[in-house]
């Protein structure tokens, strides 16, 4: 099953499933971005909109995209302000936005499903204004080394979604090669992760 179809199927239960990684990611995003003020945000891999509501509060406008029609349907069904627009896009292909159209790009739990992360950084660099920022929060590669990946249960049993391992150095190298400077690097644990490897890693990159 390809990534799009898997997330279409997962969309029916995504918000209700127990998912410590999803919950921690939402908390990390709020901790990091809640006090920011932006003019235009592009959110790639918005899913069911778990972070979109926050982004709408800190920006004049938000463009939220996802590859899954099922996830987008759930996001659109949620009540929200009129400064958010949703659209379907495959971020492994050229992004459907004009150059220098955003001052913040947000990417949560997406890059594990992308083989060529350098392309993602190149597109983000193209879209950001000078001084713009790229916020990334991803499953920590240390967890991936243990075989952890996005998965869900349905009436058909367990489904694991295709994932690619990207080392910390790979993220940093791809960022630098595409004109970014590292402003922040943090590792994150859920409260149930005591004495375990970090669950998430986040970056703030400046163009």
Paired tokens of 182: 């590292």
Q: Could you tell me which residues come within 8 angstroms of residue 34 by beta carbon, excluding any fewer than 6 positions away?
A: 54, 58
pLDDT of residue 78: 92
Q: What is the pLDDT along the chain (207 residues), one digit of tens a residue?
A: 799 999 999 999 999 999 999 999 999 999 999 999 999 999 999 999 999 999 999 999 999 999 999 999 999 999 878 999 999 999 999 999 999 999 999 999 999 999 999 999 999 999 999 999 999 999 999 999 999 999 888 877 788 999 999 999 999 999 999 999 999 999 999 999 989 999 999 999 999
pLDDT of residue 24: 98
Only one residue has tokens 């990390």, namely 28
pLDDT of residue 170: 97
Domain spans in the chain, listed from the N-terminal domain onward = 3-206
Alpha-carbon distance 199 to 88, whole Å?
Answer: 28
pLDDT of residue 16: 94
The CATH architecture to which 3-206 belongs is 3-Layer(aba) Sandwich (3.40)
Alpha-carbon distance 15 to 51, whole Å?
Answer: 12
Alpha-carbon distance 197 to 187, whole Å?
Answer: 10
Neighbours of 30 (CB within 10 A): 12
β-strand pairing of 102-108 with 84-88 = unpaired
Helices (H), the chain: 3-10, 20-33, 52-58, 69-77, 117-127, 141-145, 168-177
pLDDT of residue 154: 80
pLDDT of residue 155: 75
């Amino acid at each position: 099953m390809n990534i799009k179809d898997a997330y279409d199927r997962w969309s029916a239960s995504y918000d209700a499933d127990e998912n410590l990684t999803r919950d921690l990611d939402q908390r990390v995003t709020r901790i990091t971005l809640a006090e920011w003020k932006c003019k235009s945000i592009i959110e790639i891999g918005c899913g069911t909109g778990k972070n979109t509501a926050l982004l709408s509060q800190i920006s004049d406008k938000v463009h939220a995209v996802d590859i899954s029609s099922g996830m987008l349907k759930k996001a659109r069904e949620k009540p929200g302000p009129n400064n958010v627009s949703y659209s379907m896009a495959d971020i492994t292909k050229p992004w459907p936005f004009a150059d220098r159209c955003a001052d913040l790009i947000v990417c949560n739990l997406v890059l594990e499903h992308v083989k060529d992360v350098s392309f993602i950084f190149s597109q983000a660099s193209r879209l950001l204004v000078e001084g713009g920022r790229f916020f990334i929060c991803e499953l920590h590669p240390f967890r991936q080394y243990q075989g952890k990946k996005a998965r869900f249960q349905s009436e058909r049993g367990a489904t694991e979604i295709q994932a690619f391992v990207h080392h910390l150095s790979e993220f940093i190298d791809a960022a630098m090669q595409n004109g970014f400077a590292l402003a922040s690097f943090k590792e994150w644990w859920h409260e149930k992760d005591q004495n375990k490897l970090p669950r998430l890693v986040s970056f703030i990159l400046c163009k």
